[in-house]
């Protein structure tokens, strides 16, 4: 399904898109044509999405209500050659809210190839295109109507099919693109991970705003990560009718090494998935303190209740949900920074058994009184390469790729490389039981290394032999770290075997 679609940024553009006068489209807007006002603006600046406009006009035509017939011809969006229709399946994690990924003022650029050309080219082209379009429209309406009735069974068109976030307001739409409700929340819906949490912008593997049917009853819920302040967010769940079902606030006051850490936490992103295969979805979310090291992995049920929580002394930078041992149950594979050990980590967590805190270090500043040991299935610490040691206080991982027979994790891209060097990280290739197969440098590593040597951050020339220092991965067995690949004895895999 297309994203929010091409944006029309004035009454004039909306009118041109519809092939009508400004006065006419303004009249349609009073009857529900989806046109938005600029939230912060004092002027009459408006905008709309071509896809929504087309859907509304098509819906009018199908309902035969006469809306848009003022000027005597069809209200159908004749210059749309895209018969797809804004119907969301809404029952998969992938059934994301279509516009969620893009700011309303900054629409996603890569739109389907089916964007109508007519509206962006000259008027001469438009004339004959429109004539051809009228002919085409008959076919398009037929096809779309068929598609529409197949999708909806010809009834129940007023169910929630998509939602849009406009600042602090979430707006629900039905299958025809008609606005159903608007719910105001106490802050704006997060569109992306805030800069100060995104140590590696773009890599954070989760959602901020999603439409998903949590319990599989046919009515989708809206999940939205909402900024409640500059230093905190809450996760909101809205019912299909726009009412708030629950709110989850990650913030809690904790003490580490006797020093209080404030309750200013962010939900970093979230995943919606049926982790245990019981037919109801769970919400998996990493939350982090906005400034300091504490973080936690949390699983919520459909009622918003916390099913499990795992505290970690360092931020999660990435996670992926995967069934590593192929038993039909999902695991959480996450990587990031372990501040207590000053190294990059990988943790494999059981969504049904999140508990305790990450492995202790000798540093009392990271001990949290009263927290039991963690139930990680696996917990690995990774050696630090010389670029990382020369430029940072902590090691970190932020790349995860799960292949058929191996898992590849890579170090966080932590320094700005010279022109022409896009990366400069270490790749660790692990087998399915997380034993190290080999280590490699990516293509940019030696270039970055040479650059850092030139500017005096690294005191030796690059040698591929440096790779030999990077195989010292350590595994937490529940009592101590060992170089032998081993699960944590407190996790479920250690007790029942992993094969």
Which residues of the chain form contacts with Ca ion (CB under 5 A)? 213, 215, 217, 219, 274, 276, 278, 280, 323, 325, 327, 329
463-492: which residues touch Zn ion (CB under 5 A)? Answer: 466
Q: How far is the CB of 492 from Ca ion (least distance, A)?
A: 10
The end-to-end CA distance of the chain, in Å, is: 39
Nearer to Zn ion, 204 or 386 (CB): 386
Q: Compute the distance between CA of residue 230 and CA of residue 384 in angstroms, rounded to an integer.
A: 33
Q: How far is the CB of 440 from Zn ion (least distance, A)?
A: 15
Q: Compute the distance between CA of residue 388 and CA of residue 337 in angstroms, rounded to an integer.
A: 12
**Residues in binding contact with Zn ion, number by CB under 5 A:** 2
Helix axes 50-63 and 11-18, enclosed angle (nearest 10): 50
Q: Compute the distance between CA of residue 166 and CA of residue 163 in angstroms, rounded to an integer.
A: 10
User: Among Ca ion, Zn ion, none, what binds residue 386 when CB lies within 5 to 8 Å by partner kind?
Assistant: Zn ion
Question: Which residue number is nearest to Zn ion in terms of Cβ?
Answer: 386
Nearer to Zn ion, 287 or 470 (CB): 470
Q: What are phi and psi of 346, to 5 degrees?
A: -130, 130
Q: Does 161 bind Zn ion (CB under 5 A)?
A: no
Helix axes 22-30 and 11-18, enclosed angle (nearest 10): 100
Q: Compute the distance between CA of residue 364 and CA of residue 247 in angstroms, rounded to an integer.
A: 34
Q: How far is the CB of 418 from Zn ion (least distance, A)?
A: 16
User: Among Ca ion, Zn ion, none, what binds residue 106 when CB lies within 5 to 8 Å by partner kind?
Assistant: none
Nearer to Ca ion, 299 or 335 (CB): 299
How long a stretch of residues is the chain? Answer: 499
Q: How far is the CB of 170 from Zn ion (least distance, A)?
A: 50
User: Among Ca ion, Zn ion, none, what binds residue 494 when CB lies within 5 to 8 Å by partner kind?
Assistant: none
User: Among Zn ion, Ca ion, none, what binds residue 376 when CB lies within 5 to 8 Å by partner kind?
Assistant: none
User: Among Zn ion, Ca ion, none, what binds residue 276 when CB lies within 5 to 8 Å by partner kind?
Assistant: Ca ion
User: Among Zn ion, Ca ion, none, what binds residue 81 when CB lies within 5 to 8 Å by partner kind?
Assistant: none
Q: Which of 466, 468, 490 is nearest to 479 (CA)?
A: 490
Burial (0-12, 13-18, 19+ Cβ within 10 Å), 253: exposed
User: Among Ca ion, Zn ion, none, what binds residue 112 when CB lies within 5 to 8 Å by partner kind?
Assistant: none
How many CB atoms neighbour CB 249 within 10 A? Answer: 14
Q: How far is the CB of 225 from Ca ion (least distance, A)?
A: 19
Nearer to Zn ion, 14 or 427 (CB): 427
Q: How far is the CB of 411 from Zn ion (least distance, A)?
A: 13
Instruction: Output the CA angle 385-479-434, nearest 5 degrees.
Output: 50
β-sheet with 169-174: strand ranges across? 160-166, 169-174, 179-184
Q: How far is the CB of 491 from Ca ion (least distance, A)?
A: 12
User: Among Ca ion, Zn ion, none, what binds residue 325 when CB lies within 5 to 8 Å by partner kind?
Assistant: Ca ion
Q: Does 76 bind Zn ion (CB under 5 A)?
A: no
Task: Specify the pairing of strand 378-382 against strand 397-402.
Answer: unpaired
Nearer to Ca ion, 200 or 325 (CB): 325
Q: Which of 308, 289, 464 is nearest to 376 (CA)?
A: 308
Alpha helices in 348-444 (DSSP H): 386-391
Map residues 329-368 to x or -, x wherever contact with Zn ion holds by CB under 5 A: ----------------------------------------
Task: Indicate the helix (H) or strand (E) that contains 482.
Answer: strand 481-482
Q: How far is the CB of 206 from Ca ion (least distance, A)?
A: 18
User: Among Zn ion, Ca ion, none, what binds residue 278 when CB lies within 5 to 8 Å by partner kind?
Assistant: Ca ion
In the Cβ-directed half-sphere of 293, how many Cα atoms lie within 13 Å? 23
Q: How far is the CB of 61 from Ca ion (least distance, A)?
A: 31
Q: Which of 232, 242, 254, 17 is nearest to 121 (CA)?
A: 17
Residue 186 bridge partners (DSSP):
none
Alpha helices in 118-239 (DSSP H): 123-152
**Residue whose tokens read 């501040």:** 339
User: Among Ca ion, Zn ion, none, what binds residue 473 when CB lies within 5 to 8 Å by partner kind?
Assistant: none
Q: How far is the CB of 86 from Ca ion (least distance, A)?
A: 20
Q: Compute the distance between CA of residue 345 and CA of residue 396 in angstroms, rounded to an integer.
A: 7
Map residues 377-396 to x or -, x wherever contact with Zn ion holds by CB under 5 A: ---------x----------
Map residues 447-466 to x or -, x wherever contact with Zn ion holds by CB under 5 A: -------------------x
Chain contacts with Zn ion (rule: CB under 5 A): 386, 466
């Amino acid at each position: 399904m297309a994203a929010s679609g091409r944006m029309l940024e004035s009454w004039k553009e909306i009118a041109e898109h519809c092939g009508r006068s400004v006065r006419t489209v303004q009249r349609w807007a009073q009857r529900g044509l989806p046109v938005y006002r600029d939230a912060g603006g004092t002027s009459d600046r408006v905008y709309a999405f071509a896809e929504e406009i087309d859907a509304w006009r098509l819906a009018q035509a199908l309902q035969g209500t006469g809306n848009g017939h003022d000027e005597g011809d069809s209200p159908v969006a004749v210059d749309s050659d895209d018969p797809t229709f804004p119907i969301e399946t809404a029952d998969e994690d992938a059934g994301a809210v279509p516009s969620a990924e893009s700011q309303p003022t900054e629409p996603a650029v890569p739109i389907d190839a089916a964007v109508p050309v007519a509206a962006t080219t000259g008027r001469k082209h438009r004339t004959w295109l429109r004539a051809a379009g009228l002919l085409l429209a008959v076919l398009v309406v037929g096809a779309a109507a068929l598609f529409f009735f197949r999708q909806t069974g010809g009834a129940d068109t007023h169910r929630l099919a998509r939602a849009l976030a406009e600042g602090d307001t979430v707006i629900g739409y039905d299958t025809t693109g008609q606005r159903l409700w608007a719910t105001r929340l106490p802050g704006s819906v997060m569109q992306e991970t805030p800069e100060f949490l995104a140590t590696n912008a773009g890599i954070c593997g989760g959602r901020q705003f999603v439409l998903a049917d949590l319990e599989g009853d046919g009515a989708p819920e809206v999940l939205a990560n909402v900024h409640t302040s500059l230093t905190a967010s809450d996760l909101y769940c809205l019912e299909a009718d726009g009412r708030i079902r629950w709110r989850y606030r990650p913030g809690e006051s904790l003490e580490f090494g006797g020093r209080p850490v404030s309750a200013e936490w962010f939900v970093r992103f979230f995943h919606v998935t049926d982790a245990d295969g019981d037919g109801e979805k769970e919400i998996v979310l990493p939350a982090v303190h906005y400034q300091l090291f504490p973080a936690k992995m949390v699983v919520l049920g459909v009622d918003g209740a916390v099913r499990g929580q795992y505290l970690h002394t360092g931020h999660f930078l990435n996670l992926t949900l995967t069934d590593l041992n192929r038993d039909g149950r999902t695991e959480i594979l996450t990587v990031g920074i372990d501040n207590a050990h000053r190294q990059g980590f990988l943790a494999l967590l059981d969504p049904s058994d999140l508990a305790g805190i990450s492995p202790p270090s000798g540093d009392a500043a990271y001990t949290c009184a009263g927290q039991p040991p963690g139930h990680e299935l696996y917990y690995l610490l990774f050696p630090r390469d010389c670029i990382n040691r020369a430029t940072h206080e902590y090691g970190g991982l932020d790349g995860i790729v799960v292949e058929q027979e191996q898992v590849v994790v890579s170090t966080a891209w932590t320094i700005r490389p010279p022109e022409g060097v896009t990366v400069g990280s270490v790749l660790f290739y692990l087998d399915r039981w997380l034993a190290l197969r080999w280590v490699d440098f990516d293509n940019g590593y030696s270039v970055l290394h040479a650059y850092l040597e030139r500017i005096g951050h690294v005191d030796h020339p690059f040698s591929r032999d440096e790779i030999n220092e990077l195989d010292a991965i350590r595994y937490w067995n529940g009592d101590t770290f060992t170089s032998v690949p081993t699960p944590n004895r407190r996790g479920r895999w250690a007790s029942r075997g992993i094969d």
